[in-house]
Chain A
Amino acid sequence: MSNPVQSTRRKKGRIMSAAELARLQFAATTGIHWLFVILTMGLVPIVAIMHTRAAYTRDPDKRATRERMTRFWGQLYVINYAVGIATGLVMEFQFGLSWSGLSKFAGNVFGAPLALETLIAFFAESTFLGMWIFGWGRLRRGVHVTLIWLVTLTAYASAYWIMIANGFMQHPVGYEVRGGEAYLTDFGALLTNPHALLALAHITLAALTTGGVFVTGISAFHFARGTKEIELFRSSLRLGLWIGAVASFFVIIVGDLQFPVLERTQPMKMAALENSGVAELQAQLVTEHGPADYAPPHGWLRVSMDTMTIIGNTVSTVTLIAVCLLWKDWLVRRRPLAYLMTAMIPLPFIASAGGWVFREVGRQPWLVYGELTVNDALSHVSRTSLVVSCTAFITVFVALAAVNWSLIARFARRGPHATQLGATEPLPHDVPGDGADEKQPVPTY
């Protein structure tokens, strides 16, 4: 059994096998799904903070500004969520569609976190977000603010359960194998898997970096273009930059904390990254698991790791300097500096994609580390079906991502006056400071 990625590279031009198509389909759909997820996770706490500040500001002018600010950033967040939600729906089916060996071998263990994710988190997140979006002017202030915090909480709860499932693939714990099937023996161990928790902390900080840099970049763009909403964007810039600077500092530290765990649990990943000691580990793994190629491709790991670390350090350094330049608004008085902030927006996305490539390509050839290989887990689905589904999913997902980013760019460029969220037809009660606290009468039948 040869490593799929290596064999693709060796025999370029050859048609892809079913396993490669299924891997491509999973990697592409997960990868694009992740681009939506990281922005959702990065923006929602920022929007929640803004909404809370707006709701509890007494001064009517300030309050109006802060509410406009919440709606503006909330709008960008909602676009990303609403366009991206469908990608999450497809993800839920991907495991079963192409990797039935996973449910056969690890269904008793791996299915539980996925089931709990949908019941605890995803269900609540979508319902509460729907209510938050349509609750402007309809729900009481306290209830409305609570809703966005519930959305935040459930978004991160969702990430927790998904990382528990992913952590089990990286480093299976809390189970035993009887008759070729894994059984859950220690739920606590599953929930405290270091491979899951450290990665969760890492992606949380990465998401906050992404959200912070996003808010900073768009605010700086509006300063560079001479916005009239100075107060709104100054406040956004400060919040975004502080979050970005602090999160990007700690994301590196938490990232480094994972290396000792990797050395211990996935030595081959580290060996392949450094390209040293692969042969000894390969020999050792062959005696343990039988003949196969156990080395993930060095090139992929090196490039993805370098992409992540170089970008991570750059973003951290630049945001730290930028925080100092917040003094007297020096950062946005010089146009090139402001545009530099805008140009940084894509960087955290690229870095996080690199991180995932390192984590998941480095897991090869295993699907569940040391227990189940990717090739053994493949469903018996015909190549034709896979070609069709792979093409369809990738086309649709790429189109969704393109639409998402062009919409976000358009709304971001237009600025707060063009925000539609919660302001389709202003009612007299919607005017801030004018009884917006009272619950709106609900239309009756």
Chain B
Amino acid sequence: MSLETCWVALLGLLLAGYFVLGGYDYGVQMLHPFLGGQAQAGPAVERTSRNAALDAIAPFFLGNEVWLVAFAGVMFGAFPHLEGDLLPGLYPLIVAILVGLVLGNAAVQLRGRAHSARGRHWWDILIVFGGALPALCWGLVVGLLLHGVPRRTDGTFHIGPGDVLTPFVLACGVTTALLFAAHGAAFIALRSAPELARTACQLGSSLLRATGAVGSLALLLTLFGAGASMTNRATSAALAALLAAALAGAWWHLSRGHHIRAFAATCCATALPVLLVGAGHYPYVLISSSGAGMTLHQAVTDGATLTILTAFGVVLIPVILAYQTWSWWAFRGRTGRRHPSYF
């Protein structure tokens, strides 16, 4: 395997890691009004500032979105030519993702500071919005990358409403948003007290059915030639089948209360779209809607730079994976009596 393939694999790993980790954050953000753990208390009891769903993500929240930053950094370092075309091309979507992220991030942390139920209500709306907007927009980005973007002769492109508002791209957006929500439900089921976990399981399996339904629409559109135009058809078909299997598996285990297996399956399901974009179009990293596109070789940085980055990467990547794993291990288990928060 050549160096550039290694680096595109790393880039994919970082994005997939972000989809898996950020994905459950957004899912939990979207679902937290329904899975806050206050329902049992009855309407007479005023909702307190604690929210079990948000407590479940609290210790991991800071570390998760860092994967996105690392993705952006590695893309700039190893694939500057891809970055220079991709980010301005997807400008409106990237800005929407970032604004959603910043608002959601702030709202999750500031919610606890609100003194009134009314104030918390506003923060809750912002938390849901800050989860749903990035989830939907990432889905749209995946849809666009699968379908191909309108590249001009000099390689640049600008997406407009006409490119985004197509049935296939919209279906991808909705599928991803639903998938992240289901993933969030599986995470809450894993981390919360038993009663809440049961509610999360029920909600999660309904969401997975919806994900499957909208995902099938995207698949059908592709089969009828109005969707993705994959470079490697066999690989893509295999990955799509895996995605379907992961969704079915997640649904099966969630509806039977196997939390760990269900969460493992939703993790696979959230990572697979990234693999589909990467492996499905290899050796292209960016597909033109008119055919062909930017190859990995055109996107990659100069060989000398890549060698230096590789020297660092060989040491850094295992270290990063080690301390991330350590942090998950140190904070494993259900959220219990102690609910730490940032402030």
Query: A89–B317 Cα gap in the complex (Å)?
Result: 20
Residue contact A118 to B98, C-beta cutoff 8 Å: no
- Which chain A residues in 90-148 approach chain B with CB under 8 Å? 90, 92-93, 95-98, 100-104, 107-120, 122-124, 126-131, 133-139
How does the 8 Å CB contact mask read for B59-86 relative to A, with 1 for contact and 0 for none? 1111101101110111111101101111
Query: CA separation between A57 and B336, bound complex, in Å?
Result: 31
CA separation between A118 and B316, bound complex, in Å? 11
Cβ of A27 under 8 Å from chain B: no
Interface size for A (C-beta < 8 A) is: 81
Partner of A443, one of B77, B158, B334: B334
Stretch of B25-33, B100-108, B273-281 contacting A (4+ beta carbons < 8 Å): B100-108
Query: Which one, B88, B106, B327, B339, contacts A97 given CB within 8 A?
Result: B88
Q: Determine which of B87, B312, B332 lies in contact with A116 in the assembled complex, contact meaning CB atoms within 8 Å.
A: B312
Whether the Cβ atoms of A130 and B70 lie closer than 8 Å is: no
User: Which residues of A lie under 8 Å from residue B158 when comparing CB positions?
Assistant: 380-382
* Number of A-B residue pairs with CB-CB distance less than 8 Å in the complex they form: 237
Is there a chain A Cβ closer than 8 Å to B156's Cβ? yes
Q: Which of B68, B102, B333, B340 contacts A444 (CB 8 A)?
A: B333
> What A residues does B95 contact at CB under 8 A?
97, 385, 388-389, 392-393
The answer to whether A92 and B331 touch across the interface, beta carbons within 8 angstroms, is no
Q: Which of B58, B98, B313 has the most CB of A within 10 A?
A: B98
**CA gap between A443 and B334 in the complex, in Å:** 7
Q: B94 and A97: CB pair below 8 A?
A: yes
Contact of B304 with A by CB under 8 A: yes
Instruction: Judge if B110 is at the interface, Cβ distance under 8 Å.
Output: yes
Query: When chains A and B are docked, how far (Å) is the Cα of A184 from the Cα of B78?
Result: 13
Dominant secondary structure of chain A at its interface with chain B? helix
Within 8 A of A (CB), among B13-70: 58-63, 65-66, 68-70
Q: Which residues of B contact A137 (CB under 8 A)?
A: 338
Most chain A beta carbons < 10 A, residue from B76, B304, B305, B323: B76
A321 interface hit (Cβ, 8 Å):
no
Interface contact A107-B308, CB-CB below 8 Å: no
Question: In the complex, A136 Cα to B336 Cα: how many Å?
Answer: 15
Q: Tell me, in angstroms, the Cα distance from A128 to B334 when the chains sit together.
A: 21
A131, A183, A385, A445: the one contacting B91 at CB < 8 Å is: A385
Say whether B113 faces chain A, with CB atoms less than 8 Å apart. Answer: yes
Bound CA span A107–B81, Å: 7
Given A112-B308, A119-B74, A396-B103, A442-B156 contact (CB < 8 Å): no
- On chain B, which size bracket covers the interface? 35 or more
Complex partner residue of B73 from A92, A127, A131, CB under 8 angstroms? A92
Instruction: Please provide the chain A residues from 386 to 445 with a CB less than 8 Å away from any CB of chain B in the complex.
Output: 388-389, 392-393, 396-397, 400, 403, 407, 411, 420-422, 424-425, 427, 442-445
Q: Is B343 engaged at the interface, CB distance under 8 Å to the other chain?
A: yes
Q: Are A119 and B327 in contact (CB under 8 A)?
A: no
Q: Among the listed stretches A79-87, A283-291, A297-305, A340-348, which one makes contact with chain B, having 4 or more residues with CB under 8 Å of it?
A: A79-87
Question: B266 within 8 Å of A by Cβ?
Answer: no
Given contacts A92-B69, A396-B102, contact A119 B332 (CB under 8 A): no
Which of A78, A85, A113, A123 interacts with B70 by CB under 8 Å? Answer: A123
Q: Which residues of B contact A139 (CB under 8 A)?
A: 330
Are A422 and B340 neighbours in the complex by a CB distance under 8 Å?
yes
Report the bound CA distance from A407 to B110 in whole Å.
Answer: 9
Contact for A78 among B76, B84, B313, B343, CB less than 8 A:
B343
Question: B residues within 8 A CB of A389?
Answer: 91, 95
Instruction: Tell me, yes or no, whether B109 is within 8 Å of chain A by CB.
Output: yes
Q: Is A267 an interface residue (CB 8 A)?
A: no
Q: Does B118 contact A (CB under 8 A)?
A: no
Out of A75, A101, A445, name the residue touching B334 (CB < 8 Å). Answer: A445
| Seed contacts A97-B88, A385-B95, A392-B99; 20 additional CB < 8 Å A-B pairs | A75-B343, A78-B342, A100-B84, A100-B156, A107-B76, A112-B77, A116-B77, A119-B313, A120-B316, A122-B69, A123-B66, A123-B320, A130-B60, A131-B330, A388-B92, A393-B99, A411-B343, A421-B343, A424-B338, A425-B338
Closest 7 pairs between A and B when the two form their complex, measured CB to CB: A107-B80, A115-B77, A118-B73, A96-B87, A103-B84, A379-B88, A100-B84
19 A-B Cβ contacts within 8 A?
Answer: A78-B342, A82-B343, A97-B87, A97-B95, A103-B80, A107-B83, A108-B304, A108-B305, A118-B72, A118-B73, A122-B73, A127-B63, A137-B338, A138-B331, A184-B305, A184-B308, A379-B88, A381-B88, A442-B333
Interface residues of A (CB under 8 A from B): 75, 78-79, 82-83, 85-90, 92-93, 95-98, 100-104, 107-120, 122-124, 126-131, 133-139, 183-185, 187, 379-382, 385, 388-389, 392-393, 396-397, 400, 403, 407, 411, 420-422, 424-425, 427, 442-445
Enumerate chain B interface residues (CB-CB to A < 8 A): 58-63, 65-66, 68-70, 72-78, 80-81, 83-88, 91-92, 94-95, 98-99, 101-103, 105-106, 109-110, 113, 156, 158, 301-302, 304-305, 308-309, 312-313, 316-317, 320, 323-324, 327, 330-334, 336-343
